[in-house]
Structure 1
Amino acid sequence: MHILQTLSEFEQFKIGAKPVIFEFTANWCPDCRFIDPFMPEVVEKYSDFHFVKVDRDQFIDLCIELNVIGIPSFVAYENDTELGRFVSKDRKTQEEIESFITGLKSEKHSSR
């Protein structure tokens, strides 16, 4: 998983032809640490997506702009279009995250 370094990098991923899922997180967040052990498996399973980790504290203005209020949260883009979001203050399970991504894939194929 890539770790976001700059806002321009965010824009590059966002406009890319390959879909991207931004994971908004923070070091101090216990629910974020809860998903860390299984996220590599999720990333491997859904290799048709880029995965980019965004530190909420480093990119707080971006979080405000995107209305990402709870973490961990996920926002997906392709070709500068938001595909979907899984944003809440609740702890997320591997099954919930995978269900969100699977839903993105089925939406993508049905809109073609």
Structure 2
Amino acid sequence: MENLQSEEQLQELLEKDKLILMFSADWCPDCHFIDPFMPEVEEKYRDYTFIHVDRDQFIDVCSQYDVFGIPSFLGFHKGKEVGRFVSKDRKTREEIESFIESL
């Protein structure tokens, strides 16, 4: 999964057809819980661009999108938010896949 490098890059990425932002942080154990299976999720949903947003590096982006719990996911279609899976709770692979399928 590609890491977000700048807010300018985010603006460019938002123009993509299908984008999923995954918000997490290095210190978050629930974020690391999903690490082993996220490459398989990305492979399964290849029509989406997945971008990792480091909560500590991009706190303004988190605030802008009301993301206060991690790990969290936001789905976009051509710049418009079409879904969110935002909470402080641990997420399972099934929950993440269900969220993506709901977009």
Question: Does the pair score TM above 0.5?
Answer: yes
CA distance in structure 2 between the partners assigned to 1:80 and 1:48 by the alignment:
16
Deviation per CA, 1:79-104, whole angstroms, max 9, x where unpaired? Answer: 11101000001100000000000111
**Counterpart check, 1:58 vs 2:22:** no
TM-score normalised to the size of structure 1? Answer: 0.90
Map of 1:9 onto structure 2: 9
Gaps of 5+ in 1: 105-112
- In 1: Cα distance, 2:3 partner to 2:49 partner: 11
Post-superposition, which runs of at least 4 consecutive aligned residues in structure 1 deviate over 2 A?
none
Give the TM-score taking structure 2 as reference length: 0.98
Q: Distance in 2 between matches of 1:50 and 1:24?
A: 14
Name the structure 2 match of 1:91: 90
- Per the alignment, residue 100 of structure 1 pairs with 99
SS in structure 1 opposite 2:96? helix
Percent identity between matched residues is 57
Mark the structure with the bigger radius of gyration: 1
Q: Residue in 2 aligned with 1:110?
A: none
Shift of 1:38: 0.4
Structure 2 unaligned residues grouped into runs of 5+:
none
- Give the CA deviation at 1:72: 0.3
> 2:98 & 2:11 partners in 1: Cα distance?
26
Residues matched between the structures, number? 103
The superposition leaves residues 6-41 of structure 1 with CA deviations (integer Å, 9 ceiling, x where unpaired) of 00111111122x200000010000000000000000
Residue in structure 2 matched with residue 108 of structure 1 by the alignment: none
Which deviations, in whole Å up to 9, do the C-alpha atoms of 1:35-68 show, x marking residues without a partner?
0000000000000000000000000011011000
